[in-house]
Amino acid sequence: MNETIQRIEEYLAQTAGLLERLDRAAVARAAELLLECYERQGRVWTAGNGGSAATAQHFACDLAKFVVPPGRRPFDTRCLTDNVSLYTAWANDAPREEAFANQMRGLIRSRDVLILVSVHGGTGFSGDLVQAMRCAAEAGAATISLVGFDGGVLHRESTCSILVPVESTPQTEGTHLVIEHLLMDLIRSRLAAKEGP
């Protein structure tokens, strides 16, 4: 039992340390990009693989419902893993790394934002996210990445990147969810403030 408690203490201490080290300016910039997209009536696209796909879906859900004051239009959101038939059709019939980009090609606009969630940031993994980012950039859309480890290609090339500075998949994915909810809190409060007289 003592070893278990010790492990819990170590994990939670590491989590607290990671939250302290988050780049506050990057989080604020991500919130601004999303609010600007809303004002322009752009679409927010989201994508991720594995556990990060669940976080991408969470983003799309919260933007479409949680952040919006009653009676106001929701964010226009589309998670690129939600349509399993379409996703697997592209993955099967074209190069796998183009599966996300192929869903956006000809549809993504300069007023849009693409959110990419990746533990490794596309370094050696998730070439589909890298291609999606570059497709969005070609269209003039902003890109927001949530990454871990060294941040990879996504961290270097995104419009805005929030890095969880740790080489741990569970810690990275857990902190990404904290960042997601922090962004939703910032956006919800800003939209609610605009409801006043």
Question: Which pTM value belongs to this model?
Answer: 0.95
Give 119-177 pLDDT, tens digit per residue: 998 777 789 999 999 999 999 999 999 999 999 999 999 999 999 999 999 999 999 99
Domains defined along the chain, listed by start: 2-193 (3.40.50.10490)
Short-list 3, 5, 21, CA closest to 171:
21
The H helix count followed by the E strand count for the chain is 8, 5
The 10s digit of each residue's pLDDT in 68-114 is 999 999 999 999 999 999 999 999 999 999 999 999 999 999 999 99
In whole angstroms, give the CA distance from residue 128 to residue 52: 13
What's the confidence (pLDDT) of residue 123?
72
What is the predicted pLDDT for the residue at 197? 45
**How far apart (Å, rounded) are the C-alpha atoms in residues 91 and 98?**
7
Q: What is the pLDDT of residue 195?
A: 64
Q: Three-class SS of residue 20?
A: helix
pLDDT at position 126: 86
Whole-angstrom CA distances from 9 to 3, 6, 15 are 10, 5, 10
Task: Dig out the tokens for 161 from the structure.
Answer: 């990147």
Residue 196 scores a pLDDT above 60: no
Secondary structure class of 43 (helix, strand, coil) = strand
Of 108, 133, 115, 112, nearest to 123 by C-alpha is 133
Tokens standing for residue 122: 């596309």
